[in-house]
Amino acid sequence: MNIGVIGVGRLGQDCAEVMAEHGHTVSGYDINPFESESITRVETIEELVQDKDYVFVSVPTPHDPAYDGSTPAMHLEPKDFDYTIAKSVIAEANTYMNDSQSIILISTVMPGTIRNQIIPLVTNTKFVYNPYLIAMGTIRWDMVNPEMVMIGTEDGSSTGLANDLKTFYDAFMENNPRTVIGTWEEVETMKIFYNTFITTKVVLTNMILDVALKVGNINVDVVTDALKECDKRILGPQYMTAGMPDGGSCHPRDNIAMRWLAQEVDLGYDLFNSVMLAREVQAKNLADVLVLHAKAYDMKVIIVGKAYKADVEYLHGSGSVLVGHYVKEAGVELHYYDTHTGDYYQSDVPAVYLLAHNFGKISEENTTNSVRILAESIVVDPWRQYENENCTVIHYGNTRKLK
């Protein structure tokens, strides 16, 4: 294929050369001079895009220099990335391109940026968002051994350009990676949370070190070596389905107690305060949805699943009860249905239901715990599994605009 790369710097040059080394004809444009044995250097964007199948844009989306993390920055006001360069080169490239070509942006942007700021500039050609999971120093290896390939399209469809791009990468990827195709916003979010997950993991691990220093008689490696082998819950796929607040007799109380320890040993920071505050805000956000619909249609709220998880009787730390707290606080009539906790409330009129427990894929004929959900009810499902044509079903957490 004929490939153009705009932005042949620390990231773009290595990526472009990998493509060239795998049989593609690659040209590059950058405001700074560069030398390469496999890339043809051109002087203008207009020259670069001529007759190209794909035009990759790998220009910086920089932060203010004061926000790079090398000096304290938490006292500064939050700022988005600067998209000036990306928008400028995409707008110019679009001027000279047609609908048989494609612009592929690989630079990191914040969720919502593509649809709101980039797409209005792309009027003549096709576009996908395709950020890379690569690190400086290992770009070439990461390029052909990614953990996943992320491709963002307007509606998340896996046809057309998205499928063609997958085929393009499959031809030279060495580790047979999975390809994840989503909307622009979904892929923007995948990329930024991939990085922030890593930071959070490093910070939490270093917190164990700080506790070891403050408390004494702790070798941090003994603790971390034990935890890193826990590939079921801590480092595995469990707890990666967004939905109800975390609960149980251990999790909330342990985090709340760690607030005390952080203060007791003068740790200097309190991550657990932020974690538990987030849990409470997340519960209130969900309650607000229930309350909004209950008040709009003069309905009561029924939470299906009162225990902290399905098929148990324990209420300690229950996220359902926490959500219910905010519903009652808003002055809405609240009931629970959970056979394990002795709650059997069945409504004889339509109501707002929260399916608090994740029972897998359920339907009108197979509702959780045999609760009766009447037609014209409103069902809020934070697990995004329930279907019932006779009710208004809200898959809480899915905001895709379905065509």
Do 379 and 388 form a contact (C-beta atoms < 8 A)?
A: yes
> For 134-160, how does the pLDDT look when each residue is reduced to its tens digit (9 = 90+)?
988 899 999 999 999 999 999 998 888
Residue 388 forms part of a structural domain: yes
Residue 193 forms part of a structural domain: no
Which pair of tokens denotes residue 170?
């499959």
pLDDT at residue number 248: 85
Do 314 and 177 share a structural domain? no
Determine the average pLDDT of the residues in 266-282.
92
| Torsion sign over Cα 192, 29, 158, 185 | positive
Q: Which of 153, 183, 213 is the last residue of a domain?
A: 183
110: three-class secondary structure by DSSP = coil
Domain CATH code at residue 362: 3.40.50.720
Residue 192 forms part of a structural domain: no
Residue type, 366: N
Q: Which of 122, 149, 183 is the last residue of a domain?
A: 183
Do 30 and 167 share a structural domain? yes
Please report which confidence band the pLDDT of residue 402 belongs to, taking 50, 70 and 90 as the band edges: low
Do 392 and 399 form a contact (C-beta atoms < 8 A)?
A: no
Residue type, 110: M
Residue 60 forms part of a structural domain: yes
Looking at the structure of the chain, the number of domains it has is 2
Do 179 and 328 share a structural domain? no
Cβ within 8 Å of residue 254, ≥6 positions away: none
Mean pLDDT over all residues of the chain? 92
- What is the rounded distance in angstroms from the CA atom of residue 39 to the CA atom of residue 53? 16
Residue type, 51: D
Please report which confidence band the pLDDT of residue 403 belongs to, taking 50, 70 and 90 as the band edges: very low
Residue 401 forms part of a structural domain: no
pLDDT at 360 over 90: no
Residue 127 forms part of a structural domain: yes
Axis crossing angle, helix 271-296 with helix 319-329, rounded to the nearest 10: 50
pLDDT at 97 over 80: yes
Share of the chain above pLDDT 70, in %: 97
Match 């209130």 to its residue by tokens: 284
Its domain, for residue 31, covers 2-183
> For 113-133, how does the pLDDT look when each residue is reduced to its tens digit (9 = 90+)?
999 999 999 999 999 999 999
Number of H helices, E strands in the chain: 11, 14
Determine the average pLDDT of the residues in 22-47.
95
Determine the average pLDDT of the residues in 12-23.
95
Residue 42 forms part of a structural domain: yes
pLDDT at residue number 331: 98
Match 């991939």 to its residue by tokens: 194
What is the gyration radius of the CA atoms in the chain, in angstroms?
Answer: 26
The region of weakest confidence among 1-5, 150-154, 273-277, 378-382 is 273-277
Residue 172 is classified by DSSP as T
Residue 254 forms part of a structural domain: no
Q: Which of 155, 183, 211 is the last residue of a domain?
A: 183
Do 154 and 9 share a structural domain? yes
Length of the chain as a residue count: 403
Do 282 and 179 share a structural domain? no
